Structure 1
Amino acid sequence: MRTILVVGGGYAGFYTAWKLEKKLRRDEARVIVVDPRPYMTYQPFLPEVLSGSVEARHAAVSQRRHLRRTKLIAGSVVRVDHANRTATVAPVEGPEFALAYDIIAVTAGAVTRQLGIPGVVDEAIGMKHVEEAVAIRDRMLTNFDRAATLEPGPRRSRLLTVTFVGGGFSGVEGFGELLSLATALTRTYPEIKPEELRFHLVEARDRILPEVTDEPGRWVVRSLEKRGARVHLNATMLSASGGHVVLSTGEEFDSDLIVWTVGNAVNPMVRSHTDLPINERGMLMVRADLRVGTDSEPVPDAWGAGDDAAVPDLAMPGSSTVPNAQHAVRQGKLLAKNIIASIRGGQVKDYLHHSLGTVATLGLGRGIFQYKRIVIKGLPAWLMHRGYHVLAVPSWERKVRVLAVWLTAAVFGRDIVSLASVQHPRRAFTEGGEVAAAPAATADR
């Protein structure tokens, strides 16, 4: 029986394994997925996790619940020696070990790009995983509690200042949703006025949301600024040391919550620790049919998809597919079909996907959608965003749970309880308890 190794359990990896399970005969091959997390993060829901519109667990799709015939290994593939069909796995617990395979699907995904800016590693929070989204939300809610007890001044202003670095999709959506939450909180905290909120979005280019055209992008900027936000275009962060933000434009301010959404970098394993071919950017070289290699020199039994693979975009000749959820999901599904076709001696297919358009949430009841020249703004676009993603999130179980939360929030409003204390679960036990004296020993009589 062949062993198919899927490296990474993100979008592309999860869907590859899920479809392989459904299509493979039981005696045809076994599937192994190696990933450090026990779930696949549905990243389009992370902005709504920030605002409390989606429960954190509902943005995480359990691997063991859905991949019941797949062997799951909690760990990371740190090296691939494809010449010998061997991968080195660093498990979450225990020493590294070698794992033999017959076919490999590299779907390791990208990592958060860091630019070596002073203070960023110490102060900023990313927005790529569920736990990061929860931490951002809890920090915002906790800061409101702390600021409400302070008199107006620098410390209070710092607690009510939020900075997002990066004006791509995840940054703008997260920024808009958190701004929506903060504005709503001022109605619950009479001590804090809306004009005290300071929301900064920093983008190095002259526009945000590069996935939409110029005018819709300018409309988003105007919409955010109308809600009290400040959008810094053609600006970069020079320092964030101690929470003191310094921009290339000369502006400086203190910010207690800094969110880093600058973009992705190639997975270090793919870039530096594999004998599979990579391009000048360190990405896996992949053909249109998702085989690793080139048209003239394919690599036998090696496949790739997702954010770490340079998949040719047949809809836009001469370019590669952009790293987003639309492509990763569809590539994962096709990758499973092509692997099975290759095992059975069938015909593999090229990946071709025409964009369905671009849709983004900008906060509760606000959004933007663009498909070619068609642009829809406001509430209709926001409803389209919700409708699309509740259909796209895998499994009916997750769809029902998300819909239930949305319906409940429509009636009772969003939950505004901070659970930041769960990050230190033993603090109440170790600091708040009373240590009783040990009972005196009694001598045997």
Structure 2
Amino acid sequence: MTRILIVGGGYVGMNVALRLQRRLRHHAEITILDADSYMTYQPFLPEAAAGNLEPRHLVVPLRQVLHRCRMLNGWVVGVDSERRTVRFRPHQGEGYDLPYDLLVYAPGSVSRLLPVPGLAECGIGFKTVEEAIHLRNHVLAQLDLASSTRDEAIRRRALTFVFVGAGFAGVEALAELEDMAKDACRYFPAVDAADMRWILVEATGRILPEVGPEMGAWTLEQLRRRGIDVRLDTRVRSAENGRVVLDDGDEFDTDTLVWTAGVRPHPLVRATDLPRDDKDRVKVTPHLTVVGRPEVFAAGDSAAVPDLTRPGELCAPNAQHAVRQARTIADNIVARLRGRPLREYRHAYAGSVASLGLHKGVAQVYGVKLRGPLAWLTHRSYHLTRIPTVNRKVRVLVDWTLALFFPRDIVSLGALAEPRKEFEFAAGAPDGAKTGTQDGTETTVPRPAGARF
């Protein structure tokens, strides 16, 4: 049997495996290597952060859908294409080598950070479901704090929300969370929507370049009408201790700094002997085979894929290309095993859709420009058809249907990030509230976040 290793369980890895397990059945041994056992449908992250979707419904369990494949959880720490082996390290225990006949290398990407002082300590990305849910809980917790404190400086800091990067991730995340927070204010009598300060910082002179200049300008106007402070041609100089300093001279304190200023190939690419370009992307041919390595295929955010519809350019690192590249890889693997010629990857960009909150959106599909509720409906319809498996499609549709009849849930479950804190508190202070000191005085022990009184 042909041994096929797939590095990465994202858009490319999961879709390649799905297609191969249907077409090859018992003629190949397919193994997927990934740190997680699920694939995240990232276009729905903003809706999950806003509480429109249940977080579990935008992730696809790989072990369940890839029932004819073997799943190994851990890290790929090296690729030796000469020996045709992959060095794999599970989450615990010693690493070992896995031999392959054909390799699909698609580890994806990570957030592209800049050397901004304080960013690594106080920033948060928006690429994973964990980050999206943490951000939702954090925003709601900030509203809790602002409605409870009497310190005006703490209140201003809590109600200042900063997003850096005005691409899809930044604009959709900010728009959905601002919409959710404004809706939640009805339950916080001490907090008015006008008290919140939402800031979008973009280094270039435009936002949402994917939808074109005209629709990007329209989106900018809509955000500013909602009171969102959009700073174009502006960069963050520092963010130490939550003090954000911009290069336009403005500075302010915040507890919320969301970094969505682009992505870069996964650092694991450097642990391979595969040829790379100056941006650490794996060099591939139009057939999606790695240059000089015909037994290795690569695609997605970590690959420099030639765009045959625009000679001389590369395919954008987005889900639209990744899913279609996965199909081409799977078909080419089958063709290779059956002695048939490989086909080139060619796909003209169909357009983009973006959600800007409940019943608000912007889109440009095959040159047709949409805005408002119609664009929002197009966004939902398109992604509902693209999320993998009928199971997830039905669950997402049920979530949306229930949202028509019930208000948004505004529960903050921030304590989920530290589930043992209550137990550790109980173990350290059995009386649950006070401890004695050497001078005979009594000191109150601060309760942890989420502790019950």
**What is the TM-score normalised by the length of structure 2?**
0.93
Aligned amino acid, residue 286 of structure 2:
A
CA offsets 1:231-262 (integer angstroms, 9 cap, x no match):
01001111111111101111101111111101
- 2:171 maps to what in 1? 172
Q: Structure 1: how far apart are the matches of 2:111 and 2:317? A: 13
CA offsets 1:289-333 (integer angstroms, 9 cap, x no match):
11111xxxx422111111111111112111111000101111112
Which residues of 2 match residues 42-441 of structure 1 at below 5 A?
42-151=41-150, 153-270=152-269, 272-293=270-291, 298-371=292-365, 373-432=367-426, 435=430
- 2:5 maps to what in 1? 5
- 1:441 maps to what in 2? none
How far 1:152 sits from its partner (Å)? 6.3
Aligned amino acid, residue 160 of structure 2:
T
Q: Structure 2: how far apart are the matches of 1:66 and 1:315? A: 33
- 1:22 maps to what in 2? 22
Q: Structure 1: how far apart are the matches of 2:136 and 2:60? A: 20
Aligned amino acid, residue 110 of structure 2:
V
How far 1:25 sits from its partner (Å)? 3.1
How far 1:148 sits from its partner (Å)? 0.6
3-state DSSP of counterpart to 2:355: strand
How far 1:186 sits from its partner (Å)? 1.2
- 2:434 maps to what in 1? none
Q: Structure 1: how far apart are the matches of 2:310 and 2:60? A: 32
How far 1:151 sits from its partner (Å)? 3.1
Q: CA RMSD in A?
A: 1.3
Question: What is the percent sequence identity of the aligned residues?
Answer: 43
Q: Structure 1: how far apart are the matches of 2:212 and 2:91? A: 43
- 1:439 maps to what in 2? none
Q: Please tell me whether the aligned partners of residues 81 and 293 of structure 2 are also in contact (alpha carbons under 8 angstroms).
A: no
Aligned amino acid, residue 242 of structure 2:
G
CA offsets 1:195-227 (integer angstroms, 9 cap, x no match):
101000010001111112222111111111111
Q: Structure 2: how far apart are the matches of 1:413 and 1:351? A: 45
3-state DSSP of counterpart to 1:187: helix
- 1:443 maps to what in 2? none
Q: Structure 2: how far apart are the matches of 1:90 and 1:324? A: 28
CA offsets 1:348-388 (integer angstroms, 9 cap, x no match):
21111122211100111110011354211101000000011
CA offsets 1:106-131 (integer angstroms, 9 cap, x no match):
11111111112111111011101000
Q: Structure 2: how far apart are the matches of 1:373 and 1:44? A: 21
Q: Structure 2: how far apart are the matches of 1:70 and 1:2? A: 13
Q: Structure 1: how far apart are the matches of 2:117 and 2:89? A: 30
Q: Structure 2: how far apart are the matches of 1:431 and 1:273? A: 42
Q: Structure 2: how far apart are the matches of 1:330 and 1:188? A: 45
Aligned amino acid, residue 70 of structure 1:
C
Aligned amino acid, residue 2 of structure 1:
T
Aligned amino acid, residue 292 of structure 1:
V
Of 368-377 and 379-388, deviating more is 368-377
Q: Structure 1: how far apart are the matches of 2:247 and 2:49? A: 28
3-state DSSP of counterpart to 2:174: helix
**What is the TM-score normalised by the length of structure 1?**
0.94
Aligned amino acid, residue 5 of structure 2:
L
Q: Structure 1: how far apart are the matches of 2:202 and 2:30? A: 42
Aligned amino acid, residue 99 of structure 1:
L
Q: Structure 1: how far apart are the matches of 2:25 and 2:394? A: 30
Of 425-434 and 104-113, deviating more is 425-434
Aligned amino acid, residue 278 of structure 1:
R
CA offsets 1:77-125 (integer angstroms, 9 cap, x no match):
1111000001111211112211111111111111111112111111011
Aligned amino acid, residue 241 of structure 1:
E
Q: Structure 1: how far apart are the matches of 2:244 and 2:374? A: 36
Aligned amino acid, residue 381 of structure 1:
A
Q: Structure 2: how far apart are the matches of 1:345 and 1:413? A: 57
Q: Structure 2: how far apart are the matches of 1:49 and 1:230? A: 24
3-state DSSP of counterpart to 1:32: strand
3-state DSSP of counterpart to 1:417: coil
Aligned amino acid, residue 125 of structure 1:
I
3-state DSSP of counterpart to 2:324: helix
Q: Please tell me whether the aligned partners of residues 264 and 301 of structure 2 are also in contact (alpha carbons under 8 angstroms).
A: no
Residues paired across the two proteins, number: 430
